[in-house]
């Protein structure tokens, strides 16, 4: 079995990271009844002898002594990391695996990338090498960051080049939170576009996430739970949005809930690699199946269910509903409607009590309403993992390489152009050593080239009127079904 290291950069990255570790511990605790440090745990955790001071305390087998996350925490401000280190997860993190500063990046990609990049390169390399040494067989780096700020965006993408050079055989999966159009950071379009170029060139796979979509999802869940229609029928522990802390304090911090969804995506992505199942899917299979051309590695994700009804005996129709939801625009984690766009490839990662026949039945049912690119008409990658997430009997993560990412990129470019035309705030960037206007023009060219690739693919869409009608009818029918409680 292989190990993965999570690198959380910036405020957003660290907050999501924190949710991830909390959830990972809960998931393993639910499965690992005997307290033995097993291979599944070792994918994300080290087992350290708590009595030994210093670094030599790794225990590879036997009872769990003290679990340490395979993580590197980076932030150029101390607030978030300090909070983590004082919170319930403080013992999970190795204090030597942190890189912090006090001044912050001022929401400036150039500061994050160029200034802090060069200042911290050695330290970062040292921490990464340490993490790698602790792994028997390191397979993947998971980078979590946001695109709109300075640290996550700038330093986070600087890291990618370092990782590519230092660990060329290890996959780089990036979870990137894109700024919504109502983002309050004025320079977020600059930061995002500059970061995009790095993602296109140095990441193996990117999962773009949109704050607005996350917010919409949790708003809908809140509405359903609080409106009394489903109310008591929902198992509180099954809310994908709930963290242990939130359940305890009954907090209503929206970011907590939003971050939990992303954390769940990362856990589901790795579940088939960690746990057994009748059709396993390792991390190296994600890239192999979902990235037909190196540049086109942006995967739209959707997670269902987002909550579970208290009724344990779930009839097949509910199970089928889970598959339908995965393709509805309301469940996507970016603003996109994959049904109206072109699929290059699609992966369905199923967890829990679901068998191959359920999977096949639903693929057959949903296929007619989806459009696949001509050279990949049967482009499905599937996996079945026996272990469901905590609080659910089954779940589904869908990853789509679909041209529906294009609108997000188009909008980003549009917002960038509006700012750049007026040279607004540009001096903050240009005054940083190593930055020039060329960086901006190159970055936007890179994005334009990417958009062109998606345009070319969209042009191959053969969209028959009947298909459109069928797709619309199916969507309407499903929308009707969703409105009725108890169904």
In angstroms, give the least distance from the CB of 425 to another protein: 39
In angstroms, give the least distance from the CB of 285 to another protein: 5
Residue 461 lies near another protein (rule: CB under 8 A): no
Q: Which is nearer to another protein, 83 or 353 (CB)?
A: 353
Residue 378 lies near another protein (rule: CB under 8 A): yes
Q: Which is nearer to another protein, 39 or 478 (CB)?
A: 39
Q: Please answer whether residues 141 and 4 qualify as being in contact, where contact means their C-beta atoms are separated by less than 8 angstroms.
A: yes
Residue 278 lies near another protein (rule: CB under 8 A): yes
Residue 132 lies near another protein (rule: CB under 8 A): no
Any residues with CB less than 8 A from the CB of 173 and at least 6 apart, and which? 140, 141, 142, 143, 203, 204, 205, 206, 207, 269, 283, 286
In angstroms, give the least distance from the CB of 466 to another protein: 21
Sole binder of another protein in the list 289, 308, 324, 332 (CB under 8 A): 289
Sole binder of another protein in the list 223, 288, 469, 479 (CB under 8 A): 288
Residue 282 lies near another protein (rule: CB under 8 A): yes
Residue 472 lies near another protein (rule: CB under 8 A): no
Residue 2 lies near another protein (rule: CB under 8 A): yes
Phi, psi for 463 (deg, rounded to 5)? -105, 90
Any residues with CB less than 8 A from the CB of 341 and at least 6 apart, and which? 371, 402, 403, 404, 406, 458
Stretch that binds another protein, among 62-70, 174-182, 283-291, 463-471 (CB under 8 A): 283-291
Q: Which is nearer to another protein, 286 or 405 (CB)?
A: 286
Residue 32 lies near another protein (rule: CB under 8 A): no
Residue 381 lies near another protein (rule: CB under 8 A): yes
138-177: contacts with another protein (CB under 8 A): 139
Residue 280 lies near another protein (rule: CB under 8 A): yes
Sole binder of another protein in the list 292, 419, 448, 482 (CB under 8 A): 292
Sole binder of another protein in the list 122, 184, 364, 433 (CB under 8 A): 364
Residue 365 lies near another protein (rule: CB under 8 A): no
Q: Which is nearer to another protein, 12 or 450 (CB)?
A: 450
Q: Which is nearer to another protein, 88 or 292 (CB)?
A: 292
Residue 78 lies near another protein (rule: CB under 8 A): no
Stretch that binds another protein, among 190-198, 200-208, 233-241, 374-382 (CB under 8 A): 374-382
Distance CA(1)–CA(341), nearest Å, equals 37
Binding mask 296-335 for another protein (x = CB under 8 A): ----------------------------------------
Sole binder of another protein in the list 266, 384, 398, 432 (CB under 8 A): 384
In angstroms, give the least distance from the CB of 292 to another protein: 4
Q: Please answer whether residues 283 and 171 qualify as being in contact, where contact means their C-beta atoms are separated by less than 8 angstroms.
A: yes
Residue 356 lies near another protein (rule: CB under 8 A): yes
Residue 355 lies near another protein (rule: CB under 8 A): yes
3-state SS record for the chain = CCEEEEEEEHHHHHHHHHHHHHHHHHHHHHHCCCCECCHHHHCCEEEECCCCCCCCCECCCCECCEEEECEEEEECCCHHHHHHHHCCCHHHCCHHHEEECCCCCCCCHHHHHHHHHHHHHHHHHHHHHHHHHCCCCEEEEEEEEECCCCHHHHHHHHHHHHHHHHCCCCEEEEEEEECCCCCCCCCHHHHHHHHHHHHHHHCCEEEEEEHHHHHHHHHHHHHHHHCCCCHHHECHHHCCCCCHHHHHHCCCCHHHHHHHHHHHHHHHHHHHHHCCCCECCCHHHHHHHHCCCCCCCECEEEEECCCCECCCCCCHHHHHHHHHHHCCHHHECCCCCHHHCEEEEEEEEEEECCCHHHHHHHHHHHHHHCEECHHHCCCEEEEEECCCCCCCCEEEEEEEEEHHHHHHHHHHHHHHHHHHHCCCCHHHHHCCCCCCHHHHHHHHHHHHHHHHHHHHHHCCCCCCHHHHHHHHHHHHHHHHHHHCCCC
Sole binder of another protein in the list 163, 258, 345, 451 (CB under 8 A): 345
Residue 375 lies near another protein (rule: CB under 8 A): yes
Stretch that binds another protein, among 27-35, 185-193, 279-287, 462-470 (CB under 8 A): 279-287
Total site size for another protein, rule CB under 8 A: 41
Binding site for another protein (CB under 8 A): 1-2, 39, 136-137, 139, 276, 278-280, 282, 284-285, 287-294, 344-345, 355-358, 360, 363-364, 367, 374-382, 384
């Amino acid at each position: 079995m292989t190990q993965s290291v999570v690198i959380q950069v910036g405020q957003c990255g660290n907050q999501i990271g924190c949710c991830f570790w909390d959830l990972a511990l809960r998931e393993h605790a639910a499965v690992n009844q005997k307290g033995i440090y097993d291979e599944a745990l070792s994918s994300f955790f080290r087992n350290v002898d708590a009595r030994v001071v210093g670094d030599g305390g790794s225990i590879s087998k036997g009872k769990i002594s003290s679990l340490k996350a395979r993580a590197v925490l980076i932030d150029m401000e101390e607030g978030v990391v300090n909070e983590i280190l004082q919170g319930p997860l403080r013992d999970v993190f190795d204090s030597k695996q942190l890189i912090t500063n006090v001044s912050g990046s001022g929401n400036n990609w150039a500061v994050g990338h160029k200034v802090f990049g060069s200042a911290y390169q050695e330290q970062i390399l040292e921490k990464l090498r340490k993490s790698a040494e602790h792994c028997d067989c390191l397979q993947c780096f998971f980078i979590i960051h946001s695109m709109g700020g300075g640290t996550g965006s700038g330093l986070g993408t600087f890291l990618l080049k370092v990782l590519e050079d230092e660990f060329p055989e290890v996959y780089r999966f990036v979870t990137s939170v894109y700024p919504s159009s109502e983002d309050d950071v004025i320079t977020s379009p600059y930061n995002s576009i500059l970061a995009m170029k790095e993602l296109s060139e140095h990441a193996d796979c990117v999962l773009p996430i949109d704050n607005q979509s996350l917010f919409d999802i949790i708003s809908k869940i809140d509405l359903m739970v609080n409106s009394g229609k489903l109310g008591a029928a929902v198992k509180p522990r099954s809310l994908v949005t709930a963290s242990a802390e939130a359940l305890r304090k009954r907090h209503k911090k929206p970011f907590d809930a939003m971050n939990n969804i992303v954390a769940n995506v990362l856990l589901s992505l790795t579940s088939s690699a960690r746990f057994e199942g009748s059709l396993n899917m390792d991390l190296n299979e994600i890239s192999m199946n979902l990235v037909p051309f190196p540049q086109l590695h942006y995967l739209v994700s959707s997670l269902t269910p987002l909550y579970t009804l208290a009724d344990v005996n779930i009839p097949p129709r509910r199970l089928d509903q889970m598959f339908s939801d995965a393709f509805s625009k309301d469940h996507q984690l970016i603003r996109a409607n994959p049904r109206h766009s072109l699929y290059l490839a699609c992966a369905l990662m199923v967890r829990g009590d679901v068998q191959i026949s359920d999977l096949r039945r639903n693929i057959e049912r949903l296929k007619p309403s989806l459009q696949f690119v001509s050279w990949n008409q049967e482009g499905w990658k599937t996996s079945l993992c026996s272990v469901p997430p905590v609080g659910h009997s089954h779940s589904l993560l869908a990853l789509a390489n679909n041209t529906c990412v294009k609108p997000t990129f188009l909008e980003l470019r549009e917002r960038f152009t509006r700012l750049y035309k007026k040279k607004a705030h540009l001096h903050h960037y240009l005054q940083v050593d190593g930055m020039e206007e060329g960086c901006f023009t190159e970055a936007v060219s890179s994005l334009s080239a990417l958009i062109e690739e998606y345009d070319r693919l969209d042009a191959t869409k053969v969209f028959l009127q009947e298909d459109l009608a069928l797709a619309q009818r199916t969507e309407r029918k499903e929308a009707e079904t969703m409105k009725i409680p108890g169904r």
